[in-house]
Chain A
């Protein structure tokens, strides 16, 4: 396992390098000028000298390849520069908002897992009519855009029932509606994976033997099916966590949740290069970390794989 992890980390280096190239050049080549955006936002007259001084301050007067090398050197040391718009260090900016995004993504994942297991198992075990209804319900949930679901939930739980507030302060109570919004779509999508995996396993000989021996459905699910599907499901959950980390932008904005979503939207509008580049790098690292975690879970849950790695 240690050797596997070591090689996974080594082989990740070119991936991360490619990711840094993409993050830097995509952002730098996007139309728009961060200096001009910032100076115009001030709503006051400025001179060409002001523009030149600000370009030099943020290193934008240097050729692109030079800027990349300097940026990469700093990034490796954990230095991502200063936000052009706010004047704070990028690490400070991200550390202000990252906890809220992590909290929302983690709670949404917990919700999504609960919903997916409920929907997936119910769709297999329920009578045919109910199962068809559940599958339709799942498709509807997957199809509804998250911003629409958010507005629907606001209308019901905030405007009609008064059970929640829209303008929160980042407290746990304010987490409920954004969590539900994200969990429903992600949970429905994962529920289809759960459903398909269980159905596939039910055709396997060891499960059919257990059914023939008269074991209870719960016992079959826990002892015969769960150990075999936990690996693939962990991979799906890890991918979902990565998607939730990067995909909560709209939901965070609608609910005013003080996460990275609001930071990145504003940074894109203002062409705040240092923030956008750091955000892309952190999101890439997040995806890498979650996929690594999924691999580890797969190995732990699969004795054959464990043995195979041991022989390697």
Chain B
């Protein structure tokens, strides 16, 4: 009986195995820090929020500079508070029904039922023009409705009875399973209308503990960590078993000033002293430490690339302790025998509260800033809090500190969002009224929100940003830092500054 040589048999096996290998399912397991999904009837966020937002899509998507680009909506026109929308042709929901003008209107109406009506569309104003076109009116004549449609919470989905638990979307993935607080799995939508994703199946695991996420990645149990803290960067193994992916710097680290804090936390009402604090901070030294040296000294809290704001509208503050000292001398705060400045018998003692969202996010910057300010004669009472509720209620809202260390970002394509929420006297985040410079910034941002062209909006935002970080110094910018993702070797993760828009489905598996 004829028997083929071993090499020939192996070759035959390999030949038959090739198509199987070519069709092998690609899957990723991604660790995220917590499951924050809600199924409340008026605020369901299942798969519309965070990295799992793959089942449903938004009307438009942000480009690299946070400018809205077509997605489910092909085009839009705006005039006098009225938007005219053309829906992208040929799109179907995962249940086979067509996504057309009727479906888009029904989906947009659902937004009005939510706790937070981001879009502020008049629900009675929808008019269907034809199968693919319709109009609606902004409740407050805003030119920023399309900008706000890049927010994942405004994703469009079929108006079905069980939409809170089982979303029918148009996205590249289908929800396969959801085990609250444990995991969520999505599988590739075979009938997706757009560019098919590279990954067949994505499982999101909710792992709250920093160490557990890192160890699970090293142990090969997960492929990607979506939430990376400074502590994880410090304990990141340097043996090549973990790969760091980073975006452009987007998050700001800054010292917000309690301009409206109550006595005795009122020393910094004098803008000259705020300038002195700004000149006394060595941003390069801090940049070397926080996030393993991946931050850059900041001139503002909005990066220049964002919305095309540019870098020229703010000057920033360098490190010049002599200048800081001269400013304080000129303001009458002279150095005492104990090395602390004083004026009319009052010591320059400031309370610094660190930090929002928590102190672990910014460690060890509070101590570094404390030492830098002591160096120019400012005594710092450092209070570290690791809880946003305590930070808000105990210190920010009642104005019980001079300085508040914060890390955040305008993680939103509405250019007015961050500045309006943090620095106006009318903000619904009432604690932040402590930081508001006053009527002139309120007016600039109100003008920006009511401007009728994008160019006009951006001009007003530039002016408000300059007032906040340069002229009034409501916040003293320190650093801008990127967003980070960790992965096992062999993965190319398509990073985005907008964390909700990191498209993990487009991850490329390389070298395997």
A interface, CB within 8 angstroms of B: 30-33, 36-48, 50-51, 53-54, 82, 85-88, 96-97, 151, 154-155, 158-159, 165-167, 169-170, 253-256, 258, 262-263, 265-266, 269, 271
B205: Cβ under 8 A from any A Cβ: yes
Assess the B219–A87 pair: CB atoms within 8 A.
no
Chain A residues, Cβ within 8 Å of B208: 253, 256, 262, 265-266
Contact, CB under 8 Å: A167 / B389: no
Task: Report if A262-B219 is in contact (Cβ < 8 Å); known contacts: A31-B392, A40-B429, A167-B205.
Answer: no
Q: Please give me the residue from chain B that is nearest to A255 by CB atom.
A: B212
In whole angstroms, what is the CA distance A97 to B411 when docked?
32
Bound CA span A258–B179, Å: 10
- Chain B residues near A30 (CB, 8 Å)? 389
Can you list 21 A-B pairs, Cβ within 8 angstroms, ordered by A? A30-B389, A31-B389, A37-B389, A42-B115, A43-B411, A44-B148, A45-B116, A45-B148, A46-B428, A50-B115, A51-B428, A86-B39, A87-B41, A87-B44, A87-B164, A88-B39, A96-B180, A151-B211, A158-B215, A165-B221, A256-B212
In the complex the two chains form, is A87's CB within 8 Å of B38's CB? yes
Is B118 close to A, CB under 8 A? yes
Contact A85 B38 (CB under 8 A): yes
Given contacts A32-B393, A42-B153, contact A53 B115 (CB under 8 A): yes
Residue interface bits B146-176, CB-to-A below 8 A is 1, else 0: 0010010100000000001000000000000
Instruction: Report the bound CA distance from A261 to B127 in whole Å.
Output: 50
Contact between A262 and B411 (Cβ–Cβ < 8 Å)? no
Known contacts A50-B116, A87-B44, A45 near B417 by CB under 8 Å: yes
Which listed residue, B31, B216, B222, B421, touches A45 by the CB 8 Å rule?
Answer: B421
Do the beta carbons of B215 and A154 come within 8 Å of each other? yes
With most chain A CB atoms within 10 A of its CB, the pick from B148, B164, B183 is B183
In the complex, what residues of A have CB within 8 A of residue B129's CB? none
| Chain B: minimal CB distance from A244 (Å) | 19
Task: State in angstroms the CA–CA spacing of A216 and B45 once bound together.
Answer: 68
A38: chain B residues within 8 A (beta carbon): 115
15 new A-B pairs (CB below 8 Å) besides A97-B181, A166-B212, A167-B205? A32-B392, A38-B115, A39-B428, A40-B429, A42-B115, A43-B153, A44-B118, A82-B40, A86-B37, A165-B221, A166-B219, A169-B182, A253-B208, A254-B212, A263-B181
A265 to B411, CA, bound (A): 25
Interface residues of B, Cβ cutoff 8 Å to A: 29, 31, 34-41, 43-45, 49, 115-118, 148, 151, 153, 164, 179-183, 205-209, 211-212, 215-216, 218-219, 221-222, 387-390, 392-394, 411-412, 414, 417, 420-421, 428-429
Alpha-carbon distance between A39 and B31 when the two chains are bound, in angstroms: 24
Q: Is the CB of B116 within 8 A of A46?
A: yes
Q: Which residue of chain A lies nearest to B38 when distances are taken between CB atoms in the complex?
A: A87
Nearest CB on B from A27, distance (A): 11
Is A86 a contact partner of B180 (Cβ separation < 8 A)? yes
Q: Would you call B394 and A31 a contact (CB within 8 A)?
A: yes
Measured CA separation A41–B38 after assembly (Å): 11
**Beyond A85-B38, A86-B38, is A36–B181 a contact (Cβ under 8 Å)?**
no
B37 neighbours in A (Cβ, 8 Å): 86
Known A-B contacts A167-B216, A255-B212; the reply to A39 vs B115 at CB < 8 A is yes
Q: Does the CB pair A50–B117 fall under 8 Å?
A: yes
Chain A residues with CB under 8 Å of B390's CB are 31-32
Contact residue among A36, A159, A170, A265 (Cβ-Cβ distance under 8 Å from B219): A159
Q: How far does the alpha carbon of A136 sit from the alpha carbon of B412 in the complex, in Å?
A: 57
Give the CA-CA distance A38 to B114 in the complex, in Å.
13
Contacts of B164 in A (CB 8 A): 87
Give A261 Cβ to nearest chain B Cβ, in Å.
9
On whether the beta carbons of B428 and A37 are closer than 8 Å, the reply is: no
Complex partner residue of A32 from B31, B38, B387, B412, CB under 8 angstroms = B387
**Within 8 Å CB of B212, what residues of A?**
154, 166, 253-256
Q: Is the CB of A50 within 8 A of B389?
A: no
Q: A53-B115, A96-B180, A263-B181 are in contact. Are A167 and B44 (CB under 8 A)?
A: no
B181 closest partner in A (C-beta): A262
In the complex, the 4 A-B pairs of residues with the closest C-beta atoms, listed nearest first: A32-B389, A87-B40, A31-B393, A167-B221
CB-CB under 8 A from A39, the residues of chain B are: 115-116, 428
Residues of chain A contacted by B179 (CB below 8 angstroms):
169, 258
Flag if B151 contacts A43 (CB, 8 Å): yes
Given contacts A53-B115, A258-B182, A263-B181, contact A166 B221 (CB under 8 A): yes
Residues of B within 8 A of A85 (CB): 36, 38
Q: A45-B421, A166-B212, A263-B181 are in contact. Are A33 and B40 (CB under 8 A)?
A: no
